[in-house]
């Protein structure tokens, strides 16, 4: 039996991996060993996802977190390399654009072990973003690049990937499968709407965690001023990322919005289903909003998910409080209507087939 090592470290990766792990277990043709780097270590950002989504327990938990990029990536690289030398997999599977993604790809390629990159080809064209650096290098190291969109394919073509010994495939976005599969379970198991006394279509769901916002106080303050203005008309529910909480506490910021601890996937799905719209700087949440037919206000200067903006389903507003409020006023009167399927269907099965082909060819 062929073996893969899957490297995970952050909330969106746990969600995507749950889909693929379930398919791998169904066919029993590939052994999967899961490595959790610990990049997201808070129990509400990590363990709850493994519990709820029935992801196989990680064989290895590296517990590496809360470090600068160099130290974090370096420690991950060394420990993943040791694991790969012990496990001797046929391929390493990485997701997205985190330090865990880059470390897994680097460790594998230098042994050498084949690299599969799920969510390949995305670009923000902002080299100040650590995620942009991670995804560019990971793509270049990968043997199999599984792309969610046509624009991702176009990005790789523009970078000359047709000249490289790698296979590039458009599969769609595996997050779509997760939302479809877990939606019914979240309705049964989540009590967050009742616990927070929320009414459908009568609150805004917001998250802010990216370094470009949390590490620049002017940006962070402006975003929260915008959220506070909106909260005078409609409740704003804000599951707060540990990094964002640290900054707010350090500078004693106190904003009049409903802040709650990070939530599990089922609770987040229910908040997405019932909110009026989403305000976020998260890449994953932009798509999850779309999958739940909610407009999204993007608190960044760019997005990798350009289809959402091009189809009028999202607006890029940066950190400007006035832009945030104006986008809210624009979307709140509109009905979500997307006749075009942007991110595919049955994506996990397509990804599994491509990985199996790589391993057994």
Tens digit of each residue's pLDDT (9 = 90 or more) over 245-257: 888 888 888 888 9
CA 256 to chain centre: 27
Whole-number CA gyration radius for the chain: 20
Check whether the bond before 112 is cis (ω within 30° of 0): yes
What is the pLDDT confidence band of residue 353, given thresholds at 50, 70 and 90? very high
Q: Hey, is 342 helix, strand or coil?
A: coil
Q: Check residue 164 and report its DSSP letter.
A: S
pLDDT exceeds cutoff 80 at 45:
no
pLDDT in tens, 285-313: 999 999 999 999 999 999 999 999 999 99
Catalytic residue chosen out of the listed positions 209, 216, 241, 274: 209
pLDDT exceeds cutoff 90 at 65:
no
Which tokens belong to 349?
A: 């099965």
Q: Check residue 340 and report its DSSP letter.
A: S
User: Looking at residues 331-338, what average pLDDT do you find?
Assistant: 90
Give the pLDDT confidence score for residue 348 in this predicted structure: 98
Which tokens belong to 72?
A: 């974090």
CA 327 to chain centre: 23
User: Looking at residues 53-76, what average pLDDT do you find?
Assistant: 89
Which residues does 238 contact at the CB level (< 8 Å), separation at least 6?
206, 207, 208, 227, 257, 258, 259, 260
CB 253 within 8 A of CB 221: yes
| Dihedral angle computed from the Cα positions of residues 288, 292, 298 and 303, in that order, rounded to the nearest 10 degrees | 50
Q: How far apart are CA 63 and CA 60, in angstroms?
A: 9
Provide the β-strand partners of residue 279.
Answer: 206, 297
Which tokens belong to 176?
A: 């779509």
How many C-beta neighbours within 10 Å does residue 251 have?
A: 11
User: Among residues of the chain, what percentage have pLDDT more than 90?
Assistant: 82
pLDDT exceeds cutoff 90 at 144:
yes
pLDDT in tens, 158-204: 999 999 999 999 999 999 999 999 998 999 999 999 999 999 999 99
Question: What phi-psi label fits residue 63: left (phi over 0), alpha (psi between -120 and 50 degrees) or beta?
Answer: left
User: Looking at residues 30-53, what average pLDDT do you find?
Assistant: 76
Which fold does the domain 181-331 belong to in CATH?
A: Rossmann fold (3.40.50)
Which tokens belong to 282?
A: 């998260």
Q: How far apart are CA 43 and CA 24, in angstroms?
A: 26
User: Looking at residues 126-154, what average pLDDT do you find?
Assistant: 97
pLDDT exceeds cutoff 70 at 233:
yes
Question: What phi-psi label fits residue 146: left (phi over 0), alpha (psi between -120 and 50 degrees) or beta?
Answer: beta
Tell me where in the chain the CATH 3.40.50.2000 domain(s) lie: 2-173+344-360, 181-331
- Kindly state which CATH superfamily the domain 2-173+344-360 is placed in: Glycogen Phosphorylase B; (3.40.50.2000)
Residue with the bigger pLDDT between 357 and 49: it is 357
Active-site residue, 40 included = no
CA 72 to chain centre: 19
Closest C-alpha among 262, 207, 190, 240 to residue 46: 262
In the predicted model, what is the mean pLDDT of the chain? Answer: 93
């Amino acid at each position: 039996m062929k073996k893969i090592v899957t490297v995970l470290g952050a909330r969106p990766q746990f969600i995507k991996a749950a889909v693929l792990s379930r398919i791998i277990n169904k066919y029993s043709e590939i052994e999967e060993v899961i490595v959790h780097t610990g990049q997201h270590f808070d129990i509400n950002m990590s363990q709850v996802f493994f519990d709820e989504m029935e992801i196989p327990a990680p064989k290895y938990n590296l517990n590496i977190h809360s470090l600068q990029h160099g130290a974090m990536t370096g420690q991950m690289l060394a420990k993943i390399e040791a694991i790969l030398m012990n496990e001797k997999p046929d391929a390493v599977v990485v997701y997205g654009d985190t330090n865990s993604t880059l470390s897994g790809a680097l460790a594998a390629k230098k042994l050498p072990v084949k690299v599969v990159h799920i969510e390949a080809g995305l670009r923000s064209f902002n080299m100040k973003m650590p995620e942009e650096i991670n995804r560019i290098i990971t793509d270049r190291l990968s043997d199999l690049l599984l792309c969610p969109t046509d624009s991702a394919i176009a990005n790789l073509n523009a970078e000359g990937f047709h000249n490289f010994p790698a296979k590039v495939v458009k599969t769609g976005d595996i997050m779509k499968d997760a939302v479809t599969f877990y939606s019914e379970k979240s309705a049964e198991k989540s009590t967050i709407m009742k616990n927070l006394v929320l009414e459908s279509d009568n609150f805004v769901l917001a998250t802010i965690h990216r370094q470009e916002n949390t590490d620049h106080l002017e940006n962070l303050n402006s975003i929260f001023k915008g959220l506070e203005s909106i909260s005078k008309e409609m409740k704003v529910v804000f599951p707060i990322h540990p990094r964002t909480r640290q900054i707010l506490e350090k500078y004693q910021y106190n904003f009049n919005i409903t802040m709650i601890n990070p939530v599990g996937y089922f609770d987040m799905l229910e908040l997405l289903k019932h909110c009026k719209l989403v305000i976020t700087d998260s890449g994953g949440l932009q798509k999850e909003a779309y999958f739940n037919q909610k407009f999204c206000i993007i608190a960044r200067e760019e997005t990798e998910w350009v289809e959402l903006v091009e189809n009028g389903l999202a607006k890029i507003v940066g950190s400007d409080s006035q832009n945030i409020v104006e986008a809210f006023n624009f979307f709140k009167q509109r009905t979500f209507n997307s006749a075009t399927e942007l991110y595919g269907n049955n994506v996990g099965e397509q990804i599994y087939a491509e990985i199996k082909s790589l391993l057994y060819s």
